[in-house]
Structure 1
Amino acid sequence: MIRIQKEKHIELIVDVLTKIGLTSEQAQMASEIMNYADVRGIDSHGLILLNTYIDRINKKIIRKNPNYKWDKKSEIISVLDGDHGMGHFMGHLAMREAIKIAKEKSLGLVLVKNATHYGASGYYTELAAKHKMIGFTTTNTMPLMAPTGGAERILGNNPISFSIPRQNEDPVILDIASSVVAAGKLILVNQKNEIIPEGWALDKEGNPTTDPNEGYEGGGTLLPIANHKGYGLALIMDILAGVLTGSGYGKNVGHSDIGFVMMAMDVDQIMPKEIFNKRLDSLISMVKSTKKGNENNTIYLPGEIEYLKKKEREQDGILINENLYKEIEKLTLDLEISIDNYFS
């Protein structure tokens, strides 16, 4: 494993993306959100995707300088046409708008169409939590998953995220895919030349597989969490992010017509924040003080493990595997950027 410091991680991504012609504001936002993922141990949504984004930019799937447009539907609802720009930038723009609306109207809802992959969902909902609001987001993805009983990619592993603000504590952040694991996890395992557990994916013939390549890049399908429950979640998220936004849906989703939903809810306009905080702390205390099945067990809140990882990686640096390092080394060489500027 090779170590890169947080600041150098951000700098590397910005330098690479601007070198290939992405606008500075899009590159900055992509680097911030990819760094958010890697610092928290969400390695499937960080630096590992840099080559993927570059390939899509070079193929004009992601537009370097998009002409995005707003369409206000009501006092609390707006639609953003991302014009196929970098999903991270569009997602940030959308959640900031949802927060702005919620400050005035208690609830802000922004739908995004004609966008691209936006990275780690928790980043966006945490933005709302930083403003003492409840945040929600979902997005659809390229088809990666079969409905329960099927063996063909029909739905994305469409994620869902909520963040709940807490007084003087890190927010509670739920950020889950509707598949057992994200596709990036299979890429990561494949880079390490390891196998995946049975139950993560099927091969292209619909058979269970432990080969990460067969389960994803070789044409297989990811499996939904809890069978029909994960399938149901993926379908509903596709209705919201795909059908409702005017973006692609199901098998029609491409890399540049993905949809997002961003929502911010101002708690203080529903219930005085002092009462909300007291009630929330009471619930969390109940959860944390649960009788344990094993005295060595630790009960974590959603997002808590990622915050612990963040403290560790901000101090010690982000670890990446040797194969990913070699990918980055080749990439920087091709772009005539010195990799020594980032890795020590």
Structure 2
Amino acid sequence: MTEAAGRPPALSVADLIVAEGPEGAERILIAGLTVGVAAGEIVAVHADDREAADALVQVLDGRRRAQYGAMTVGGSRPRRVAPARPAGVGVVRAGQPLPGGDPRPVVVVDATRPAAGAPDTAPAQAAARGGSGVLLVTTDPDIAAAADRVVHLNRPPKPPAAAEPEARFSVAALTDAAVGSLVDAGVGAERATLVARVLVDADARGHFSHGVGLLPMYLDRLAQGGIDAAAEPAWNSEDGPVAVLDARGGFGQVAAELAAARCAERAAETGLAAVAVRGNNHIGMLAAYRDHFVRHDVVGLVLNISGPSVAAPGAGRPTLGNDAVCMVVPRGEHRPLVVDFATGTVASGKIRHAAHRGEPVPATWLVDRQGRPTTDPEELDRGGAVPVFGGHKGLGVAVITEVLAGILAGHTVSPLVHKQRAEPDRAMDCSQLFLALSPSAFGDPPVDELLTVLSNAVAAGYPQGAPRVHLPEQQEELAEAAARDDGIPVPLAVVERLGWTADRTAAVPGGAR
């Protein structure tokens, strides 16, 4: 934010991020604050919760370290925020007098915890009259309103006024529309049905990053040769506990479906099985292949590597794939336990989905080409990167995935995988590893009963009662219910690009059929 016109800058804070907790399980208190204050100006930082406000005051007072951010006081050079109060900054609590002596270029007034009685902005007014820039930190909207400007802490910016309109589809209508587009592009009906099912399943489970929004890209890759619609996967080896399948650059879903089916069936017979898939393309949401493991009552583990889009801890360049891991645990008559996640802080497709809708992303999701946190989703395709989740522990999970799904299964690693958007005329040449284990081979442990003990223990850890979503698969269950009741939203830009019409798709903006 720019300082007041005609006044010299007093304080600039850029991209301030403050977190607490152990590495890999951090909780964000301040998510990318940028604020400027001019001499003689009062700027209020309005926080919705006191903990975040306290964290900001502590950082500016030199009592707390920020994970990321830079600060400039007066005409000084920008410096990383560190646990030492910057020269020229004074911190007072509302209701306290200003410190004596020379006026400070910057005064931070803590109005979240007044010294006594009601919060008082008199110190802020006095400091501004004396030529200081004043940062007024408060949780009270009435106090914030008295400032020259207000910056909201951790409140995401509002989406553009003209938010992109959507059409809503029933699951059946969306599947039919996707199948029609693929068949029109020369894909066989059976193969088109499989690809459409995987995409729509992701949308129905709330993972729009892996849904029909990918279909325009798939069609473009078909036209340019990156996907061979007629490619038939071939088994390099089938005997023994490990099988190897060459996808031959076809639709990723075709080889993945074949691999999941073979892996689950073989594990049910022998207790343990693995299928490696190499030379493949994008296979969609890994959880889309869960039914094979459930049908054969085996625990499934699927690992996938992709092209570089993730940065190592502290890095700015994307050098690792946003690899994925999925576990499926059948639970008899109940829904299976499904754990499905990317090794980046977030799946790259979620960032592109936000860009599609003209919405910002959280500052923790993305860094730009200089390694700085950004809320602009367009930065991903300008050379930005998704940070690996969980710091060096998350990097460890990514390396494990690279070894199993990349080196062993595919004889490759993610830096060698072709990015499907950047190289639409080439197969990705990515790889997957499907593993399955039969509980019967382990003496038939009471899987469902012990998972219930585990889930009850997790829920009991919340003194005020467990939130509605506190375990994997619960969010997807809610999304599936919403899809059944309200339909699946698809941006009209995608609908129009695919040439779908209301007659053909049974799509009605604002409603489902």
TM-score higher than 0.5 here?
yes
In the other structure, the counterpart of 1:272 is 444
Match for residue 453 of structure 2 among 267, 282, 293: 282
**1:190 alignment partner AA:** A
In the TM superposition, 1:32-47 aligns within 5 A as 32-47=197-212
**Is the aligned partner of 1:52 residue 2:208?**
no
**2:477 alignment partner AA:** Y
CA drift of 1:268 comes to: 2.2
> Is the contact made by 2:302 and 2:327 (CA closer than 8 Å) also made in structure 1?
yes
In the other structure, the counterpart of 1:259 is 431
CA drift of 1:97 comes to: 0.5
Match for residue 462 of structure 2 among 280, 292, 299: 292
Question: Cα gap change, 1:3/1:91 in structure 2, threshold over 3 Å: closer, same or farther?
Answer: same
Deviations 1:62-85 (A, max 9, x none): 111003210226421100000001
Secondary structure of the 1:118 match is: coil
> Is the contact made by 2:410 and 2:432 (CA closer than 8 Å) also made in structure 1?
no
In the TM superposition, 1:183-198 aligns within 5 A as 183-198=348-363
In the other structure, the counterpart of 2:315 is 150
In the other structure, the counterpart of 1:222 is 386
Deviations 1:68-115 (A, max 9, x none): 210226421100000001111111110000011112111121000000
In the TM superposition, 1:161-240 aligns within 5 A as 161-214=326-379, 216-240=380-404
CA drift of 1:293 comes to: 4.1
Distance in 1, matches of 2:494 and 2:461, equals 47
CA drift of 1:141 comes to: 0.6
In the other structure, the counterpart of 1:301 is 471
**1:331 alignment partner AA:** L
Question: Cα gap change, 1:277/1:206 in structure 2, threshold over 3 Å: closer, same or farther?
Answer: closer
In the other structure, the counterpart of 1:241 is 405
CA drift of 1:299 comes to: 5.0
**2:363 alignment partner AA:** E
Q: Alpha carbon RMSD of aligned pairs, Å?
A: 1.8
Structure number, greater radius of gyration:
2
**2:369 alignment partner AA:** K
The range that moved more, 191-200 or 41-50, is: 191-200
Distance in 1, matches of 2:172 and 2:386, equals 34
In the other structure, the counterpart of 2:297 is 132
**Is the aligned partner of 1:117 residue 2:282?**
yes
> Is the contact made by 1:172 and 1:304 (CA closer than 8 Å) also made in structure 2?
no
**Is the aligned partner of 1:94 residue 2:259?**
yes
**1:261 alignment partner AA:** L
In the TM superposition, 1:68-83 aligns within 5 A as 68-72=233-237, 74-83=239-248
CA drift of 1:164 comes to: 1.0
Distance in 2, matches of 1:310 and 1:70, equals 35
In the other structure, the counterpart of 2:489 is 319
Match for residue 331 of structure 1 among 488, 495, 498: 498
CA drift of 1:247 comes to: 4.7
Secondary structure of the 2:381 match is: coil
Distance in 2, matches of 1:307 and 1:131, equals 22
Secondary structure of the 1:202 match is: coil
Unmatched 5+ residue regions in structure 2?
1-165, 421-426, 509-513
> Is the contact made by 2:366 and 2:387 (CA closer than 8 Å) also made in structure 1?
yes
In the other structure, the counterpart of 2:131 is none
Q: Which has the higher helix share?
A: 1
Q: Which has the higher strand share?
A: 2
TM-score (norm 1): 0.92
Distance in 1, matches of 2:480 and 2:410, equals 36
In the other structure, the counterpart of 1:250 is 414
Question: Cα gap change, 1:153/1:167 in structure 2, threshold over 3 Å: closer, same or farther?
Answer: same
In the other structure, the counterpart of 1:22 is 187
**2:385 alignment partner AA:** T
